[in-house]
Amino acid sequence: MRAGLAVSFIRETKEKKTSDLSIETDSGTLFVEITRLGQSAETREAFSYFNREDWRVPEFEGLKVDIRLEKFVSRPRLKELLEGVAAEAKTVRLSGLPGSYTAPGLLSARIEKMEGTGKSSFAVAGWPTDSDEVDRLARALRRKAQQLPADRPGMLIILDNELHLSPWESPDYSVIVAELEEHVFEHGRMVGVLIVLPFGAPDAKPFNASGEDWIAWRKLGPVFLVEDRIFIRNRYAEGKVDQRVLEAVGCESKSGLRLQSPP
């Protein structure tokens, strides 16, 4: 492992759930639990509506259509809203000027012509990834923390494919930290949690931010693969995370987060 740390996989037992890894540090053994969150049921249900062929209406041809959902809407309501968006799209096609459509509290859309012939773009953002994902992450954090040893220091690593903030160029992760940190503080033997948010962006640039008990940074991978990583330390933990552990997952010591300082 990077930073010269010895890492071992922990074999599962039938008697109880165990952590995934153990890392030997100067202060002792750190146990690590790793989990990945896929799409929630709410996400799959909502976005399945927008993959249906009946959304490929002629009015969207040659246009860039960006739709933002504000809450869950039923299929009949979506059909009704689509008629409004399509009518505005038709106006944009004829005038060449950008337009918008808003159903207060339900949906909003921005529409503009695409450069070049034959090009179209259709995207959906907002609910449910902006609303239920943080709560789902908090539930996973509480559940997975129970798999760490009760009498030894531990750390969580959670990969969440669905949680993304806008604007992605410079997201404000303090909002997420504020929702999660108390769940981290609750577990005295957990030194912290690393949250990994993977996404694709060919134009992504380095990014970092930090607060009193957290730091976020961006790891640029091959082609357009990107990971935003957030580490939240437990200021009340009985042990402290070894700085080399963070360096091993891409967090440079020059970040300025003083993990060894008292709360």
Residue 54 pLDDT > 70 = no
Let me know: does 5 contact 244? Beta carbons within 8 Å. yes
Cβ–Cβ under 8 Å, residues 198 and 192: no
- Residue spans per domain, the chain: 2-40+130-255, 43-125
DSSP the chain: -GGG-EEEEPPP-SSS---SEEEEETTEEEEEEEEEE---HHHHHHHHGGGSGGG--GGGTTEEEEEEE-S---HHHHHHHHHHHHHHHHHHHHH-S-EEEEETTTEEEEEEEPSSTT--EEEEEETTTTTHHHHHHHHHHHHHHTTS-TTS-EEEEEEESS---SSTTS--THHHHHHHHHHHHT-TTEEEEEEEEEEE-TT----EEE-SSEEEEEEE-STTEEEEEEEEE-TT-SS---HHHHHHTT--GGG---TTS--
Sign of the alpha-carbon dihedral angle for 129, 131, 132, 135: positive
Residue 85: what pLDDT?
93
Residue 1: pLDDT over 80: no
Answer whether residue 254 shows pLDDT above 50: no
Q: What's the pTM?
A: 0.64
Tell me if 224 sits within 8 A of 201, measured CB to CB: yes
**Low-confidence winner among 43-57, 73-87, 135-149 (lowest mean pLDDT):** 43-57
Each residue's pLDDT tens digit, 12-34: 766 667 777 777 777 778 878 88
Q: Is residue 120 over pLDDT 90?
A: no
| Each residue's pLDDT tens digit, 91-104 | 998 999 999 999 99
- What pLDDT shows up at residue 260? 41
pLDDT confidence of residue 261: 45
